[in-house]
């Protein structure tokens, strides 16, 4: 392992807004950046911003951003000391982290063993149980076939949720309402998991309704672990997050401490080193929470936590990977005010969220007090059709929740993205519903109530 002071250059193995985010952190730390890119991203913002660039292949992710050999070769040829994987792509790939280790390149993330343990969702649940953290009733690990699933479902009761152990990004899940649907759903879900993640293994959980998604941001460096409060990500569509906020409008101080302590306990149990997120389900009716999964990477919505704590999570993640340790203590973390994030996607909400790539004729960023926009957009940029449709995120801070919402209202009107359809106005409608305003939403609110009204 290289000494921290020897770190001069970081390779960024990602694209879009998160690549820009990482480049900015490196610039402030005085570290040079090497941006790898696919042919489709030749004119993208991170490629324009980085100190050095190298093309690693054609548009298709499999031939570029997911090609371990090409990325490692680029790091070796261009003498990068470390690799930041961002989110998605290779960020939770243990084999990639291992290849970095073999070549004495620092992987900015947890150890391959941690990724293996916590990145595999069924294993992570077992470890959480071991650590005494509540989990949703369900299977004890992988279920081999639908008959095995049926006997567990019989015990815990329908509806149940089939989940891919390698799943992520809201994919590879199936709700099963009764026994009659189980066999077909099992086949479908394992097929989908196989093609999306290269791993068909499934586990199952009781499907809970009227729940909220609450997650805890953690940092661990081998000596200490600390948490930076929670994010509430209950506004979702198809199990994918749309709006995130911190603090949660429904969590009491007592529950905040309880969930935060559970997250720390789990991190200690697996000796977690890096930035990570412990995702939980909260049932507001009973105030019970259940561990759901851990993401062993930086998350899309990390800026919400940065805005209320003042801690730069990407810099801390880099510091930890370089062996410098976390720069703060738990006592120094104070949550101040309220922050909300709206994801802006190149999608047409009116047409079942159909992706809408193309040329952005004009981009104008929102600004002013408490407004942050993380994006790779610029006027004239052509959004390629090959990747995730996330264009950027607007994050607004306010001294309280109402002010944060009003500021978001303003920012969503101020931002200008001309030429392609985006979810900007859909998001504006969503944050102004009485349900969101009063903090009374659940993870099915968008799909069950909001969407049909919006489309009218
Ligand atoms: P977050 O968990 O950070 O809120 P998402 O769940 O939206 O973010 O995932 C972030 C990105 O990573 C998305 O592009 C998503 O499709 C991708 N992603 C997440 N998990 C996986 C996975 N296991 N395999 C492939 N892509 C993934
Ligand atoms: P991913 O790895 O794709 O992020 P998660 O396990 O984190 O998958 O679940 C994504 C979302 O699916 C959650 O935020 C929640 O809305 C929903 N979900 C997951 N598990 C359950 C459950 N047992 N009951 C009801 N909804 C669930
Ligand atoms: Mg998740």
Tokens of 21: 């985010």
Pocket around ligand 2 at a 6 A CB cut-off: 136, 161, 163, 167-170, 205, 207-208, 211, 213, 236, 239, 279, 281, 292-293, 443
Residue 109 has pLDDT above 60, yes or no: yes
Cα distance between residue 218 and residue 145, in whole Å = 35
Residue 359 has pLDDT above 70, yes or no: yes
Residue 4 has pLDDT above 60, yes or no: no
Tokens of 13: 């193995």
**Under 8 Å between Cβ of 259 and 214:** yes
- Summarised one tens digit per residue, pLDDT across range 237-252 is 999 999 999 999 999 9
What are the start-end ranges of the E strands in 8-157? 9-12, 32-37, 52-55, 82-84, 106-107
What is the number of the ligand closest to the CA of 212? 2
Residue 86 has pLDDT above 80, yes or no: yes
Cα distance between residue 239 and residue 312, in whole Å = 27
Rounded distance from Cα 239 to ligand 2 centre (Å): 6
- Summarised one tens digit per residue, pLDDT across range 418-437 is 999 999 999 999 999 999 99
- Summarised one tens digit per residue, pLDDT across range 189-248 is 999 999 999 999 999 999 999 999 999 999 999 999 999 999 999 999 999 999 999 999
- How many C-beta atoms lie closer than 10 Å to residue 418's C-beta? 12
Torsion of CA 218, 220, 224, 227, to 10 degrees: -10
C-alpha distances in Å from residue 123, one per residue of 79, 144, 366: 36, 15, 43
The mean pLDDT value for 253-263 works out to: 97
Residue 1 has pLDDT above 90, yes or no: no
Residue 73 has pLDDT above 90, yes or no: yes
The mean pLDDT value for 248-260 works out to: 96
Tokens of 442: 């659940």
- Summarised one tens digit per residue, pLDDT across range 133-174 is 999 999 999 999 999 999 999 999 999 999 999 999 888 899
Nearest to 435 by CA among 413, 405, 415: 405
pLDDT of residue 170: 87
**CATH code, 212-455:** 3.30.470.20
Q: 């390629």: which residue's tokens?
A: 384
Atom of ligand 1 nearest to the CA of 295: 2
- For the chain, the domains span 9-108, 137-206, 212-455
- Protein fold of 137-206: Dna Ligase; domain 1 (3.30.1490)
Residue 440 phi/psi, 5° resolution?
Answer: -110, 65
Report how far Cα 52 is from the mean position of its chain's Cα atoms.
Answer: 27
Cα distance between residue 342 and residue 378, in whole Å = 19
Annotation marks residue 171 as catalytic: no
- Protein fold of 9-108: Rossmann fold (3.40.50)
Which is the catalytic residue, given 237, 273, 297, 343? Answer: 297
pLDDT of residue 3: 54
Q: 């120094």: which residue's tokens?
A: 332
What are the start-end ranges of the E strands in 97-170? 106-107, 160-164
**Under 8 Å between Cβ of 299 and 293:** no
Q: Ligand 1 within 6 A of 90 CB?
A: no
Exposure string over 166-190, b if 16+ CB within 10 A, otherwise e: bbbeebbbbebeeeebbeebbeebb
The mean pLDDT value for 103-123 works out to: 97
Cα distance between residue 311 and residue 353, in whole Å = 34
Rounded distance from Cα 36 to ligand 3 centre (Å): 27
Q: 């198809």: which residue's tokens?
A: 238
3-state secondary structure of 172: coil
What is the number of the ligand closest to the CA of 239? 2
Cα distance between residue 430 and residue 412, in whole Å = 12
Q: What percent of the chain has pLDDT over 70?
A: 99
Cα distance between residue 244 and residue 231, in whole Å = 6
User: At 334, is the pLDDT very low, low, confident or very high (cuts 50, 70, 90)?
Assistant: very high
Tokens of 366: 């929102």
């Amino acid at each position: 392992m290289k000494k921290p002071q020897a770190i001069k250059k970081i390779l960024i193995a990602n694209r879009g807004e998160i690549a820009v985010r990482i480049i900015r952190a490196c610039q402030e730390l005085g570290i040079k950046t090497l941006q790898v890119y696919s042919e489709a991203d030749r004119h993208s913002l991170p490629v324009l911003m980085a100190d050095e660039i190298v093309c690693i292949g054609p548009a298709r992710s499999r031939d570029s951003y997911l090609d371990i050999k090409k990325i490692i070769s680029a790091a070796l040829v261009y003498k990068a000391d470390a690799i930041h994987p961002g989110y998605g792509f290779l960020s939770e790939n243990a084999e990639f982290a291992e290849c970095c280790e073999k070549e004495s390149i620092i992987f900015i993330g947890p150890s391959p063993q941690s990724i293996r343990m916590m990145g595999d969702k069924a294993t992570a649940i077992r470890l959480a149980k071991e650590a005494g953290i509540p989990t949703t009733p369900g299977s004890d690990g992988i279920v081999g076939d639908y008959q095995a699933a049926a006997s567990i479902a019989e015990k815990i009761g329908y509806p149940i949720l089939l989940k891919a152990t390698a799943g992520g990004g809201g994919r590879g899940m199936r709700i099963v309402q009764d026994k009659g649907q189980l066999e077909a759903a099992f086949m479908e879900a394992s097929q989908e998991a196989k093609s999306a993640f290269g791993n068909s293994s499934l586990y199952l959980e009781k499907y809970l309704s009227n729940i909220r998604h609450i997650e805890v941001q953690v940092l661990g460096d081998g000596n200490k672990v600390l948490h930076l409060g929670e994010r509430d990500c209950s506004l979702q569509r198809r199990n994918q997050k749309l709006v995130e906020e911190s603090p949660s409008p429904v969590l009491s101080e007592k529950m905040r401490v309880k969930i935060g302590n559970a997250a720390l306990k789990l991190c200690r149990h697996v000796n977690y080193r890096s930035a990570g997120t412990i995702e939980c389900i909260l049932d507001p009716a009973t105030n019970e929470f259940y561990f759901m999964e851990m993401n062993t990477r930086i998350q899309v919505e990390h800026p919400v936590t940065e805005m209320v704590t003042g801690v730069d999570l990407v810099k801390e993640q880099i510091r930890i990977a370089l062996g410098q340790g976390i720069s703060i203590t738990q006592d120094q973390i104070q949550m101040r005010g309220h922050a909300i994030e709206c994801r802006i996607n190149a999608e047409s909400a009116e047409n079942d969220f159909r992706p809408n790539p193309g040329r952005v004729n004009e981009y104008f960023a929102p600004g002013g007090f408490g407004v942050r926009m993380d994006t790779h957009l610029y006027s004239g940029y052509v959004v390629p059709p090959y990747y995730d449709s996330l264009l950027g995120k607007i994050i607004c801070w306010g001294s309280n929740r109402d002010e944060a919402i009003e500021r978001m209202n303003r920012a969503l009107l101020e931002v200008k993205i001309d030429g392609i359809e985006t979810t900007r106005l859909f998001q504006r409608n969503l944050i102004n519903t009485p349900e969101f305003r009063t903090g009374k939403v659940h993870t099915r609110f968008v799909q069950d109530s909001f969407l049909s009204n919006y489309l009218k």
